[in-house]
Amino acid sequence: MRSDTHPPSSKGAARDRTVGVSRTRRVPRWLGFATAAIGALALIGWVADVGLLKSVIPGNVAMKPNAALGLILLGAALSLVTSSRAAAARLSGGFALLAATIGAATLMEIVTGLDFGIDQLLFREAPGAVWTATPGQMAPETAVCLVLLGLALPLLRHDRSIVLAQVLATPVGLVAVFELVALALGAKGASPEWPFTLMPFPTATAVLLLAVGTLFTRADLGFMTVATADTTAGKFVRRIVPITAVLMLAIDEANNLGEEAGIFGHDIRAAVSMTVATAAVAVVTWIVAATLHAREMTLRASQRAGGIGSYELDIAAGTWSGTQVLDEILGIDATDPRTLEGWAAVLHPDDRDEMLRYFREHVLGQRLPFDRDYRIIRKSDGQERWVSGRGELTMGESGDPMTMVGTIQDITERRRAEAMLQEAESRLGAVLSSAPITIVATDSQGVFTLSEGKGLERVGLEPGENVGVSAIDVWGSLPFVEPTGEVITGKDVVDRALAGDTVNAVSELRGVYFDNHIGPLRDADGEVVGIVGVAADITEQTLATEEIRELNRTLEARVEERTRQLTEVNSELEAFSSSVSHDLRAPLRSIDGFAKILEENYAPQLDEKGRHYLEVIRSSVGSMGHLIDSLLRFSRLGREALHLGKVDPAAIARIVVQEDLQQETQGRSVKVTIGEVPACMADRDMLRVVLSNLLSNAVKFTGQRDRALIEFGATRKGGEPVYFVRDNGAGFDMRYAGKLFGVFERLHNADEFEGTGVGLAMTQRIIHRHGGRIWAEAEVGRGATFYFTIGDAP
Amino acid sequence: MKTYDDAPEILLVEDNPNDVELLLRALKKHRITNRVNVAKDGVEALEFLRSIGKDAEGGGKIVAPRVILLDLKLPRMSGTEVLSQIKADPVLRKIPVVVLTSSQEESDLAATYGLNANSYIVKPVDFERFLDIARHIGIYWLMVNEPPVFD
């Protein structure tokens, strides 16, 4: 809701609409002087007995001394009435009442027929003076005028009674005009038709001046307001009234001329007068009406265009009248009551109590202007609408509010637009304050007007904390790095942005890197009115980039270092192997040697058991020698280069059977079947080790079979050849298949089958080096099958 | 001044006393020689060989061992280093050097032959085979092979 302040008062507004207030204020003072002067001249005429001064028109009735005195008093009163000095004001009042008393006394004489002796008080007038009913006595209308003016002038001193003064002065003016017209038409004074003394010419003139003076002293108030108003109505009054007067005189004069020239007679003259006057009045009225109509149409159109309806509320009656646009805004028609209840009926139920209370307490109670936006339910379609109500009270004579005049404007669209704007603004605000960036703006002096965004948190600033601070104070000495690598200061950035340039640069503040886009902020005319900047936090990227750069720089060194380490490890490994082969074998040799010497030299001293123990020692040494040799071969395998070539595994298998297995199969029934298998790319010597190991294993584990059956062959699996060595030997428990290829892993008791536990580990290592796989399937007591692939040799 | 008969026929460079004992026993058992000088490490071996050289400078006749049996894994100075120094010496390089080691490493083979070793023999663990080898060495180097001539 808006605030309820509404400064201009109705009085001030009225004054604004009047023309030449100061001029119309000065004029009455001069009119007062002129009136007093006329009275004074008449008195001088009486003193010096100069008829011209008394009647101005020779042979006419003379201004009576009392009338002259009264006019002097009223003239003085008029001149003084606007004085701001209290004494002058009181004097004005005294003069006016004195003049009124003179007039009243004269009237008493006329009404009662008594002679108070006031008529001959100042000067004696001989009986039978021209056009005079009672010698020395002023005309009765003069007396009435004195009374009325004497009462009116003091009323001018109070704003509230001004209209009364004007009401009193108006008939006085009309009487004066009547007298002047009568004189102009040749009337002289008392006559059979007019039994009273007519006003003498100077008196009528002076009375007219006083009446005019009284009316215009405060023309900004009372009903004279319209005469001085800067409105069409004011123009009409100021132009049409004089024109009408002149027109009437002209009609009468034309009639006179017509009658004298014998064009028409006396009876026709009256008809012509009536018709012409009626026509003139009708034309004038028509012009006025047409103008008012056009005005009203314009007003109505503009009100409709602005969605503004106006009303006038009669507070005492509780009724109001409004424009058609107002009806449209409220959605009411002619059948709806134009009452306060009628207004309350269209109010939105949620606002109704509040608005009625506002009207009662704020407007009527405190006599403040009505100024509120409120909701209504438009009666025609039940739509909720927002209206803006304005109204001003007019106070009556008693000071109580009489009417309220105001407007009601439909502001629904505006409010909707405002609400949308507000929503957009708050949405933008939310975006700004939650964006992981910083957004700033400055005025044309480079002082921050906006500082928002989550990015501020990173440097420990609150949103808006920098507002009011100069950007140069904050950034001035900070280095900004442009994409070209050039470093500029924050002051350069601000200066360039204010000069219309857009700067893109990276800055760093408290360990946080920002990518800044700072450019000019322009108004609708394209003038730079500040700068606007967006800064994105690029700390992570920056640090990551730095790290990558650093890594790249050190990569070569690290590769070298790693290579050196590997070489070192390799040579250490070799040293270890060499050490194993030498240092482990040397003590074994000693054991074996000395055991043998013992056997040779001291055998006679040893019994059977002693000799057996020596035998065990020497056989153990032999096993350990084998183990060491196998282990060395195994470790050497990993280091030797592969010499790949196309080989036929079946051919190799045949050689193995002939050369390696001879000894082992001696005295046994072993049948080795070698099938046709695909050739492959492999290291011939290594593949021989593989087949030798697998086949001799098969021979070994079929040792307890009467007929050992061993098969070497190949199948295909997924297009790849899978070689296998199958036997009908002891087999093994598949639960331990995982241990099959480990170094020194044995699945059988050494008593049952000899072996070092290195053979299969070595086999697997060779297969792996060729890029192949090896696995086994077996069942205890039912033989085993070893499968392997060679793979695409690397 | 040593006489020719007193001069050692074999310089055995070996730090392991067990191996020394076993080898000496083997040579003795086959009645090949008992004129064996034993150096316990590379430094000792070189000192002995240099002393021969000094005799030569003194105008005496050089009496060199007919063969040097060199172990590779030695304290202080390795066999490879000893070999390299022997073969770098204009006089000593003529003496046949037989590398007698437990190592079967290819790198050792390559290194020693690269330094002009005259033979490479792997010491077996089995004592009988060891005896056999010792016999072969004695017969070959002390009886079959003609020693180099020193000026």
Stretch (H or E) spanning A537: strand A528-537
Tokens standing for residue A421: 């704007």
Give CA–CA dist A755/A664, Å, rounded: 13
Interface touch A595/B127, C-beta < 8 Å: yes
Alpha carbon of B63: minimum distance to chain A alpha carbons (Å)? 32
Write the residue in B25, B104, B123 that is nearest to A589 by C-beta.
Answer: B123
Mutate to test the interface with A, among B25, B125, B133 (most CBs of A within 10 A): B125
**How confident is the model at residue A746, as a pLDDT?**
66
**How confident is the model at residue A753, as a pLDDT?**
63
Alpha carbon of B53: minimum distance to chain A alpha carbons (Å)? 32
CA A491 to each of CA A485, A520, A543: distance values in angstroms, whole numbers, following the listed order: 17, 14, 26
Query: What is the bridge-based pairing of β-strands A784-788 and A720-727?
Result: antiparallel
- DSSP secondary structure letter of residue A558: H
Interface touch A593/B127, C-beta < 8 Å: yes
**How confident is the model at residue B53, as a pLDDT?**
64
The three-state secondary structure class of B143 is helix
Alpha carbon of B59: minimum distance to chain A alpha carbons (Å)? 42
pTM across the whole model: 0.42
Dihedral of the CA atoms A155, A161, A163, A165 (nearest 10)? -20
Alpha carbon of B1: minimum distance to chain A alpha carbons (Å)? 37
Tokens standing for residue A225: 């307001």
Give CA–CA dist B151/B144, Å, rounded: 22
Backbone angle region of A755, left / alpha / beta, with phi > 0 → left and psi within -120 to 50 → alpha: left
- Give chain A's contact residues with B (Cβ, < 8 Å): 574, 577-579, 581-583, 585-590, 592-597, 618, 621-622, 624-625, 629, 632, 636
SS3 content of chain B, % helix, strand, coil (to 5): 45, 15, 40
| Buried-state track B76-114, b at ≥16 Cβ within 10 A, e below 16 | ebebbbbbebbbeeebbebbbbbbbbbbbbeebbebbee
Q: What string of DSSP letters covers A365-411?
A: IT---EEEEEEEE-TTT--EEEEEEEEEEEE-TTSSEEEEEEEEEE-
A528-537, strands of its sheet edge to edge: A448-452, A437-442, A528-537, A512-522, A503-509, A479-481, A487-489
H-state helical runs in A113-197: 140-155, 162-184
Alpha carbon of B125: minimum distance to chain A alpha carbons (Å)? 4
Write the pLDDT tens digit of every residue in A322-333. 888 899 899 998
Write the residue in B19, B72, B103 that is nearest to A589 by C-beta.
Answer: B19
Average pLDDT, chain A: 83
Q: Please report residues of A whose CB lies closer than 8 A to that of B72.
A: 582
Query: What is the bridge-based pairing of β-strands B10-13 and A370-377?
Result: unpaired
> Confidence band (pLDDT; 50, 70, 90) for A296?
confident
**How confident is the model at residue A405, as a pLDDT?**
92
Q: Which residue is listed with tokens 């900070």? A: A478
List the one residue out of A790, A793, A787, A794 whose CA is nearest residue A772.
A790
Mutate to test the interface with A, among B24, B102, B122 (most CBs of A within 10 A): B102
Q: Please report residues of B whose CB lies closer than 8 A to that of A625.
A: 124-126
Tokens standing for residue A369: 């202007």
Interface touch B126/A625, C-beta < 8 Å: yes
Give CA–CA dist A70/A52, Å, rounded: 20
How many Cα atoms occupy the beta-carbon half-sphere of A132 within 13 Å?
A: 20
**How confident is the model at residue A133, as a pLDDT?**
65
Give CA–CA dist A770/A762, Å, rounded: 13
- DSSP secondary structure letter of residue B35: -
Interface touch B104/A632, C-beta < 8 Å: yes
- CA geometry: angle A673, A676, A679, nearest 5 deg: 130
**How confident is the model at residue A273, as a pLDDT?**
78
Q: Which residue has the higher pLDDT, B92 or A20?
A: B92
**How confident is the model at residue A94, as a pLDDT?**
92
| Average pLDDT score over residue span A225-243 | 81
8 A C-beta contact, residue A54 and residue A46: yes
List the one residue out of B61, B72, B60, B74 whose CA is nearest residue B111.
B72
Residue A128 pLDDT > 70:
no
**How confident is the model at residue A131, as a pLDDT?**
64
The residue ranges of chain B whose pLDDT is under 50 are 1-4
Looking at A126-130, A425-429, A755-759, which range is the least confident one? A126-130
Give CA–CA dist B83/B93, Å, rounded: 9
Complex-level ipTM beyond the 0.90 threshold = no
Mutate to test the interface with A, among B29, B100, B122, B127 (most CBs of A within 10 A): B127
Q: Which residue has the higher pLDDT, A648 or A270?
A: A648
Closest chain B residue to A626, measured at CA = B125
List the one residue out of A50, A339, A95, A59 whose CA is nearest residue A200.
A59
Write the residue in A590, A618, A629 that is nearest to B19 by C-beta.
Answer: A590
Residue A104 pLDDT > 50:
yes
CA A109 to each of CA A68, A124, A137: distance values in angstroms, whole numbers, following the listed order: 18, 17, 9
List the one residue out of A477, A542, A488 whose CA is nearest residue A514.
A542
Give CA–CA dist A779/B131, Å, rounded: 47
Residues above pLDDT 70, as percent of chain A: 91
Tokens standing for residue A279: 């026509």
Query: What is the bridge-based pairing of β-strands A487-489 and A479-481?
Result: antiparallel
Give CA–CA dist A652/A791, Å, rounded: 18
Residue A135 pLDDT > 80:
no
CA B22 to each of CA A593, A625, A724, B69: distance values in angstroms, whole numbers, following the listed order: 7, 18, 48, 14
Alpha carbon of B134: minimum distance to chain A alpha carbons (Å)? 13
CA A592 to each of CA A348, A603, A623, A665, A754: distance values in angstroms, whole numbers, following the listed order: 119, 15, 12, 29, 21
- CA geometry: angle A653, A657, A660, nearest 5 deg: 110
- DSSP secondary structure letter of residue B146: P
Give CA–CA dist B66/A651, Å, rounded: 49
8 A C-beta contact, residue B125 and residue A589: yes
**How confident is the model at residue A12, as a pLDDT?**
41
Write the pLDDT tens digit of every residue in A760-772. 888 888 898 888 8
Write the residue in A581, A593, A596 that is nearest to B104 by C-beta.
Answer: A581
Residue B43 amino acid letter = V
Write the residue in B25, B106, B125 that is nearest to A625 by C-beta.
Answer: B125
Task: Give the largest CA-CA distance in chain B.
Answer: 46
Write the pLDDT tens digit of every residue in A154-182. 988 888 888 899 999 999 998 888 888 88
Alpha carbon of B118: minimum distance to chain A alpha carbons (Å)? 20
Give CA–CA dist A763/A74, Å, rounded: 147
Alpha carbon of B105: minimum distance to chain A alpha carbons (Å)? 6
**How confident is the model at residue B3, as a pLDDT?**
43
8 A C-beta contact, residue A118 and residue A66: yes
8 A C-beta contact, residue B10 and residue B97: no
Looking at A237-241, A280-284, A743-747, which range is the least confident one? A743-747
- Give chain B's contact residues with A (Cβ, < 8 Å): 16, 18-19, 22, 25, 72-73, 101-108, 123-128, 130
Quote the crossing angle between the two packed helices A21-48 and A65-81, to the nearest 10°.
Answer: 160
Write the pLDDT tens digit of every residue in A626-669. 778 777 777 777 667 788 889 999 999 998 888 888 888 888 88
Interface touch A583/B102, C-beta < 8 Å: yes
Size of interface A-B (CB pairs under 8 A): 68
Q: Please report residues of B whose CB lies closer than 8 A to that of A587.
A: 18
Beta carbons within 10 angstroms of residue A681's beta carbon = 16
| Buried-state track A434-458, b at ≥16 Cβ within 10 A, e below 16 | eeebbbbbbeeebbbbbbbbebbeb
Whats the size of chain A, residue-wise? Answer: 794
Q: Which of A374-378, A565-569, B63-67 has the highest mean pLDDT?
A: A374-378
**How confident is the model at residue B2, as a pLDDT?**
43
> Confidence band (pLDDT; 50, 70, 90) for A197?
low
Q: Please report residues of B whose CB lies closer than 8 A to that of A632.
A: 104
Interface touch B127/A632, C-beta < 8 Å: no
Looking at A15-24, A396-405, A452-461, A536-545, which range is the least confident one? A15-24
Alpha carbon of A506: minimum distance to chain B alpha carbons (Å)? 60
A531, β-bridge pairs: A520
Whats the size of chain B, residue-wise? Answer: 151
**How confident is the model at residue A711, as a pLDDT?**
93
Interface touch B103/A588, C-beta < 8 Å: no
CA A76 to each of CA A29, A31, A84, A88, A102: distance values in angstroms, whole numbers, following the listed order: 9, 10, 15, 10, 15
| Average pLDDT score over residue span A528-534 | 88
Q: Please report residues of A whose CB lies closer than 8 A to that of B23.
A: none
Residue A117 pLDDT > 80:
no
Question: Residue B3: CB partners within 8 Å, gap ≥ 6?
Answer: none
Tokens standing for residue B106: 């290819």
Mutate to test the interface with B, among A589, A614, A624 (most CBs of B within 10 A): A589
Q: Please report residues of B whose CB lies closer than 8 A to that of A581.
A: 102-105
Closest chain A residue to B22, measured at CA = A593
Give CA–CA dist A185/A190, Å, rounded: 15
**How confident is the model at residue A256, as a pLDDT?**
77
List the one residue out of A143, A127, A144 whose CA is nearest residue A135.
A127
Looking at A12-16, A612-616, A755-759, which range is the least confident one? A12-16
Give CA–CA dist A682/A689, Å, rounded: 12
Closest chain A residue to B16, measured at CA = A586
Q: What is the Rg, in whole angstroms, of the alpha carbon atoms belonging to chain B?
A: 15
Looking at A80-84, A188-192, A379-383, A532-536, which range is the least confident one? A188-192
Interface touch A582/B107, C-beta < 8 Å: no
**How confident is the model at residue A13, as a pLDDT?**
41
**How confident is the model at residue A287, as a pLDDT?**
86
- DSSP secondary structure letter of residue A737: G
8 A C-beta contact, residue A82 and residue A25: yes
Q: Please report residues of A whose CB lies closer than 8 A to that of B124.
A: 589, 625
Q: What is the Rg, in whole angstroms, of the alpha carbon atoms belonging to chain A?
A: 66
Write the residue in B105, B126, B128 that is nearest to A581 by C-beta.
Answer: B105
Residues above pLDDT 90, as percent of chain A: 15
Beta carbons within 10 angstroms of residue A611's beta carbon = 13
